[in-house]
Structure 1
Amino acid sequence: MITVTTPAPPVRELPEAFRPLRSVEFQRLVDLGLFEGTHVELVGGVLVEMSPQGPLHNTVLRRMNRVLVLAAGDAFEVGVQVPLDVDDITLPEPDFTIVPAGRFTDRHPDAAVLIVEVAVTSGRFDLGEKARRYGAAGFGEYWVVDLDRRCVHVHRDPSPDGWGSVVRHTAGELAATAVPGLVIDVADVLSVAG
Structure 2
Amino acid sequence: MEAARQIEEYTIDDIYDLPDGKRAELIDGRIYFMAPPGTKHQRLAGKLFNKISNYIQDNHGTCEPFIAPFAVFLDKDDKNYVEPDISVICDKGKLDDKGCHGAPDWIIEIVSPGSKRMDYYIKLFKYRTAGVCEYWIVDSMEKCITVYDFEHED
TM-score, structure 1 as length reference: 0.64
CA apart distance, 1:58:
1.2
| Partner in structure 1 of residue 140 of structure 2 | 147
Structure 2: gaps of 5 or more residues? 1-5
Q: State how far apart, in whole Å, the 2-side matches of 1:57 and 1:157 are.
A: 25
Aligned length: 140
2:36 maps to which of 52, 68, 71: 52
CA apart distance, 1:107:
5.7
Q: State how far apart, in whole Å, the 2-side matches of 1:107 and 1:146 are.
A: 26
TM-score, structure 2 as length reference: 0.79
Q: One-letter code of the match for 1:42?
A: L
Which 4+ runs in 1 deviate beyond 6 A?
A: none
Write the mapping of 1:12-51 to structure 2, written as runs, cut at 5 A. 19-23=8-12, 25-26=13-14, 30=16, 34-51=18-35
Contact 1:157–1:164 (Cα < 8 Å) also in 2: yes
Contact 1:99–1:109 (Cα < 8 Å) also in 2: no
Contact 1:72–1:98 (Cα < 8 Å) also in 2: no
Structure 1: gaps of 5 or more residues? 1-16, 166-194
Instruction: Say if 2:86 is the partner of 1:96.
Output: yes
What is the percentage of aligned positions where both structures have the same residue?
A: 23
Contact 2:103–2:127 (Cα < 8 Å) also in 1: no
Structure 1 residues 72 and 109 mapped into 2: Cα distance closer, same or farther (>3 Å)? farther
| Partner in structure 2 of residue 61 of structure 1 | 45
Q: State how far apart, in whole Å, the 1-side matches of 2:98 and 2:145 are.
A: 33
Q: Give the alignment's Cα RMSD to 1 decimal.
A: 2.4
Q: Specify which structure has the higher proportion of helix.
A: 2
1:84 maps to which of 43, 50, 72: 72
